């Protein structure tokens, strides 16, 4: 802890496919750390290939050993279960405390900006329980209609929210309707319990987009189609986890719960006709997501953007007082 009693934490952020996990593993090895994955998609069990989840050996208490480093925050719930930033904050706070108690450095890595703000920035969240009936009503709407509805309810919040994220839009509308107040009113930062070194992994846009395209092609080769088919048979396309990129694009390929190929589209209405279209759509959606991630993280002026490892190591050694 520093002189103000705050726990020291290293946060590694950036867009998908930027190399965050590889850097986090190097840092954890070099500075005696444990990794906490801050990702709203890798929390789902069985969703491995499409989320680029680390591979390794599962341990007794819910951690994964990958490349000799302990990873937390993976496989927390089933794809059909509702999970929130608030629930993850409770989990993450406990894990960080345990890591520190073992004399190790918490290394948080991921691309879900809101969750980082909730955990490390102590962003307050509305204590509003999910309303299943309202969510079902909203889930049949497309993303554009959801955003327009939210814009009417919370004009200020509409300027900041990810307008292409249906799950976030549905939650924001739900809070507005159930509380009678704008969702943005609840999102206020409080004093943090952590002293954070923010490191952003910077990659030139063209290189990043090439990495994304290659990664998606590798996912297909590794068996993404079979993974999606298995998940559809178990949970259907309406499961919360299936709303993520890499999974939602397959809507219309299988009939939910049956596994039979079909051209009947769900409410998402993605006009898919063949595997080439699916691959291209996943690549396109991932590139757009990476752009939104960068927009989110660029708002955080505490982030040191690094292009090479040695700069990151120098910053860490200064942060930990090892210079």
Q: pLDDT (tens digit, 9 = 90+) per residue, 51-66?
A: 999 999 999 889 999 9
pLDDT tens across 24-52, in order? 999 999 999 999 999 999 999 999 999 99
Higher confidence at residue 185 or residue 38?
38
107: three-class secondary structure by DSSP:
strand
Give the pLDDT score at 254: 57
- Is the pLDDT confidence value at 1 over 80? no
Sheet holding 194-201, edge to edge: 57-58, 64-66, 69-72, 33-37, 105-110, 7-13, 194-201, 304-306
Helices 113-120 and 85-101, packing angle to 10 deg: 60
Does the pLDDT value for residue 270 go beyond 70? no
Range name among 86-100, 114-128, 214-228 with the lowest pLDDT average: 114-128
Cβ–Cβ < 8 Å for 88, 118: yes
Q: Please provide the average confidence, as pLDDT, over all residues in the chain.
A: 89
Of all residues in the chain, the percent with pLDDT exceeding 90 is 71
User: Which two three-digit tokens encode residue 93?
Assistant: 């706070």
Determine whether the annotation assigns residue 18 to a binding site: yes
Please state the pTM of the whole predicted model: 0.84
CA distance 188 to 256: 40
The reply, when asked if residue 163 is annotated as ligand binding, is no
Q: Is 112 annotated as a binding residue?
A: no
Sign of the dihedral defined by the CA atoms of residues 231, 237, 243, 244, in that order:
positive
Residue 21 in marked binding region = yes
Instruction: Tell which residue, 9, 23, 10, has the closest CA to residue 202.
Output: 23
CA distances from 149 to 171, 181, 182 (A): 12, 14, 12
Virtual torsion, Cα 113, 115, 119, 121, nearest 10 deg: 40
Distances (CA, A) of 220 to 168, 180, 269, 291: 27, 45, 22, 23
User: Is 17 annotated to bind ligand?
Assistant: yes
CA distance 272 to 276: 9
Which domains, ranges and CATH numbers included, belong to the chain? 7-125+189-204+298-320 (3.40.50.300), 132-184 (no CATH), 207-289 (no CATH)
Tell me the two tokens of residue 320: 């930990």
Establish whether 5 is an annotated binding residue. no
């Amino acid at each position: 802890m520093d002189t103000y009693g705050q726990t020291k934490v290293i946060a590694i952020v950036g867009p998908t496919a930027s190399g965050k996990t590889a850097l986090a593993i190097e840092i954890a090895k070099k500075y005696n750390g444990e990794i906490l994955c801050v990702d709203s998609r890798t929390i789902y069990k069985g969703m491995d290939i499409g989320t680029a989840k680390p591979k390794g050996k599962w341990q007794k208490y819910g951690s994964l050993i990958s490349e000799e480093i302990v990873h937390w925050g993976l496989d927390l719930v089933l794809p059909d279960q509702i999970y929130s930033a608030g629930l993850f904050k409770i989990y993450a706070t406990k894990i960080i405390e345990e890591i520190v108690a073992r004399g190790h450095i918490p290394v948080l890595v991921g691309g879900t900006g809101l969750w980082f703000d909730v955990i490390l920035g102590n962003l307050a969240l509305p204590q509003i329980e999910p309303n299943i009936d309202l969510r079902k009503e909203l889930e049949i709407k497309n993303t554009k209609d959801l955003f327009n509805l939210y814009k009417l309810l919370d004009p200020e919040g509409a300027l900041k929210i990810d307008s292409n994220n249906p799950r976030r839009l549905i939650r924001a509308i739900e809070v507005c309707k159930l509380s009678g107040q704008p969702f943005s009113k609840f999102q206020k930062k409080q004093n943090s319990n952590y002293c954070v070194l923010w490191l952003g992994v910077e990659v030139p846009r063209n290189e990043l987009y090439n990495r994304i395209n290659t990664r998606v092609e590798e996912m297909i080769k590794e068996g993404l189609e079979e993974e999606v088919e298995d998940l559809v048979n178990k949970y259907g396309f309406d499961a919360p986890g299936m709303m993520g990129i890499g999974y939602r694009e397959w809507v219309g390929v299988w009939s939910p719960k049956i596994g039979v190929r079909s051209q009947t589209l769900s409410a998402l209405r993605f006009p898919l006709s063949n595997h080439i279209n699916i691959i291209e759509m996943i690549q396109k959606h991932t590139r757009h997501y990476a752009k939104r991630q960068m927009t989110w993280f660029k708002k955080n002026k505490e982030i040191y953007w690094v292009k090479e490892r040695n700069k990151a190591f120098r910053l860490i050694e200064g942060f930990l007082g090892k210079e």
